[in-house]
């Protein structure tokens, strides 16, 4: 009996370990490491993207996904409705966005999941939403999403993307009718990897002219220092250089 209990515990432990590391997009992007201990962070592995979600401030922290040319064209342009993520016990807080001037901004864009209805629905989970000023979300942020989508169609390449918010104190918040708050990012970043090519972008969460996209390039090191995370820990990347934007 004692040996059976030990065996059961061992199998259960292995199961937890396997689930904890079975995030396809995190693994293909080389992983990550926080500079300091974090609390309230939940790692979630979805079909279309992986996300580190902060259940305290109701924001995604890091989102990992691929842009695949075979998935960006299809019949499912926008089939989802905003909803809570069944992987969390998070309350529905998206009512906090109403009449604030902030969009429920996607980190992993719905437009890259047009081939698969289930994945398109996933992209509308609360864990993929964060407050973005409407002019930013529908302007320069959308322009980069569109440029990347056209790039993979033209090159037939699958690119890896890591994206997320930047929080610079003092942090502003949105309030929902139930008293929950959602932290408002001061900015956003997006890092795009296509083989040996790596392009990093940093934006302020404000209205910016879409044609200024090439001016938003930065280094991976600069982004890591802002978010307090070491990215691509298993990849051999030159993180200190600033690579000109191809978009």
For 169-211, how does the pLDDT look when each residue is reduced to its tens digit (9 = 90+)? 999 999 999 999 999 999 999 999 999 999 999 999 999 999 9
Q: Are 31 and 234 in contact (CB under 8 A)?
A: yes
What domains does the chain contain, in order, with CATH numbers?
A: 2-231 (3.40.570.10)
**Closest to 126 (Cα-Cα) out of 164, 83, 88:** 83
Residues across the chain:
247
How far is Cα 30 from Cα 32, in angstroms, rounded to an integer?
7
Q: Are 185 and 170 in contact (CB under 8 A)?
A: no
Query: For 109-153, what is each residue's pLDDT tens digit?
Result: 999 999 999 999 999 999 999 999 999 999 999 999 999 999 999
Per-residue pLDDT, 154: 97
C-alpha to C-alpha distances, 157 to 76, 114, 144, 153, nearest whole angstrom: 21, 17, 17, 8
Residue 58 confidence class, pLDDT cut points 50, 70, 90: very high
Region for 151 from its dihedrals, namely left if φ exceeds 0, alpha if ψ lies in -120 to 50, beta otherwise: alpha
What's this model's pTM, rounded to 2 decimal places? 0.89
Q: What's the chain's Rg over C-alpha atoms?
A: 19
Per-residue pLDDT, 78: 77
Residue 39 confidence class, pLDDT cut points 50, 70, 90: confident
How far is Cα 152 from Cα 155, in angstroms, rounded to an integer?
5
How far is Cα 193 from Cα 30, in angstroms, rounded to an integer?
11
Q: What is the 3-state secondary structure (H, E, C) of the chain?
A: CHHHHHHHHHHHHHHHHHHHHCCHHHHHCCCEEECCCCCCEEEEECCCEEEEEECCCCEEEEEEEEECCCCCCCCCCCCCCCECCCCCCCCCCHHHHCCCCEEEEECCCHHHCCCCHHHHHHCCEHHHEEEEEHHHHCCHHHHHHHHHHHHHHHHCCCEEEEEEEECCCCCEEEECCCCCEEEECCEEEEEEEECCEEEEEEEECCCCCHHHHHHHEECHHHHHHHHCEEECCCCCCCCCCCCCCCC
How far is Cα 58 from Cα 40, in angstroms, rounded to an integer?
10
Query: For 200-239, what is each residue's pLDDT tens digit?
Result: 999 999 999 999 999 999 999 999 999 999 999 999 899 9
Largest CA distance in the chain: 69
């Amino acid at each position: 009996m004692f040996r059976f209990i030990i065996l059961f515990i061992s199998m259960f432990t292995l199961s937890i370990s396997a689930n904890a590391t079975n995030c396809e997009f995190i693994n293909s992007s080389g992983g990550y490491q926080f500079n300091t201990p974090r609390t309230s962070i939940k790692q979630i592995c979805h079909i279309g993207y992986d996300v580190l979600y902060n259940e305290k401030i109701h924001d995604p922290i890091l989102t990992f996904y691929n842009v695949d040319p075979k998935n960006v064209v299809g019949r499912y342009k926008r089939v989802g409705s905003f909803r809570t993520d069944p992987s969390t016990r998070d309350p529905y807080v998206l009512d906090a966005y109403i009449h604030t001037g902030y969009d429920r901004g996607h980190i992993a864009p719905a437009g890259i999941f047009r081939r698969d209805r289930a994945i398109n629905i996933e992209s509308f989970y609360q864990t993929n939403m964060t407050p973005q000023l409407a002019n930013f979300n529908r302007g320069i942020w959308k322009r980069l999403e569109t440029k990347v989508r056209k790039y993979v169609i033209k090159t037939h390449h699958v690119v890896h993307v890591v994206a997320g918010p930047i929080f610079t104190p003092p942090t502003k918040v949105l309030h929902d009718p139930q008293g929950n708050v959602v932290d408002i990012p001061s900015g956003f970043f997006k890092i795009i990897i296509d083989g040996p090519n790596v392009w990093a972008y940093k934006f302020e969460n404000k209205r910016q002219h879409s044609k200024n996209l090439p001016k938003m390039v930065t280094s991976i090191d600069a982004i890591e220092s802002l978010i307090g995370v070491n990215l691509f820990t298993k990849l051999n990347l030159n993180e200190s250089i600033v690579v000109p934007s191809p978009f």
